Amino acid sequence: MQNKKRSCIIWGATGQSKVVYDVLVAEGTSVIHLFDNNPNIKSPFTNIPISYGLDGLLSFIDAIWQEKLKPDQIDCIVAIGGGNGEVRETTTKLMQSHGFKPRSVIHKTAGISPFADIGASVQLLAGSIIGAFASIGDYSIINSGANVDHDCLVGKNCHLAPRATLAGEVVVENNVFIGTNSTVLPRLRIRSGAVIGAGAVVTKDVPEGAVVVGNPARPVVE
């Protein structure tokens, strides 16, 4: 069980951070600092400062030591969406290596079967459904209204965009992005690094690294 009274820092200062911030504020968690790799991005929250890159993180650590705080007293979340799953993993591990404690973000309206297996540092957002005996890998995002049906296996670093649907017994390997309102039919396999376009209906297995769109979904030909 996560201690919601702990302070938290967020890496990422664009759209996904706003969604994560909304969940944290609603549960009573205090967000005290943001980080981003892009120095041109400003904090979207007027009362929360932002720092940039590893140098910014190290400066923040120096500052909290001055206040008699230790990194292991502060939780961390990487709020970077889209097909950036590997970045979520490496950035989370970077923050963890400096003592911060990774945590998950789970919206109060997420429907999670007691028989589901939920990994570390996941984000299960408003109205998402994780069915019986489904599994969600580390660093994955199940976005608002997305549905992972019974016995689905979702690997690490994946992102199901809003209202994406996996029918029963689908296997999604690592680093997969599944777009908004897309549907994957039962017992299919989406291999590592694949991208499913918004609104696609997937009727057959998707090869590694493929980009598929349409109904039925077909590979994009460059």
Sign for the CA dihedral angle at 207, 212, 216, 218 comes to negative
pLDDT tens readout for residues 47-88: 999 999 999 999 999 999 999 999 999 999 999 999 889 999
Tokens of 79: 């709020």
Q: Which helix (H) or strand (E) holds 103?
A: none
Task: Say what the pLDDT of residue 221 is.
Answer: 75
Confidence at 5, pLDDT banded by 50, 70, 90: confident
List 33, 98, 107, 150, catalytic entry: 150
pLDDT tens readout for residues 18-30: 999 999 999 999 9
Task: Say what the pLDDT of residue 2 is.
Answer: 52
pLDDT tens readout for residues 118-136: 999 999 999 999 999 999 9
**Please, are residues 75 and 9 in contact by the beta-carbon 8 Å criterion?**
yes
Angstrom distance (rounded) from CA 76 to CA 33? 10
Angstrom distance (rounded) from CA 121 to CA 131? 19
Residue 98 is among the residues annotated as catalytic for this protein: no
CA atoms within 13 A on the CB side of 174: 10
Task: Say what the pLDDT of residue 6 is.
Answer: 86
pLDDT tens readout for residues 138-167: 999 999 999 999 999 999 999 999 999 999
Which residue's structure tokens are 């979520």?
88
Residue 206: which of 222, 221, 195 has the closest Cα?
195
Tokens of 116: 């589901």
**Please, are residues 158 and 177 in contact by the beta-carbon 8 Å criterion?**
yes
Angstrom distance (rounded) from CA 70 to CA 90? 22
Confidence at 1, pLDDT banded by 50, 70, 90: very low
The rounded mean pLDDT for the chain is: 95
Which residues touch 159 (CB under 8 Å, ≥6 apart)? Answer: 81, 82, 83, 84, 85, 140, 141, 143, 176, 177, 178
Q: Please name the amino acid found at residue 118.
A: I
Average pLDDT over residues 214-219: 95
Q: Please name the amino acid found at residue 182.
A: S
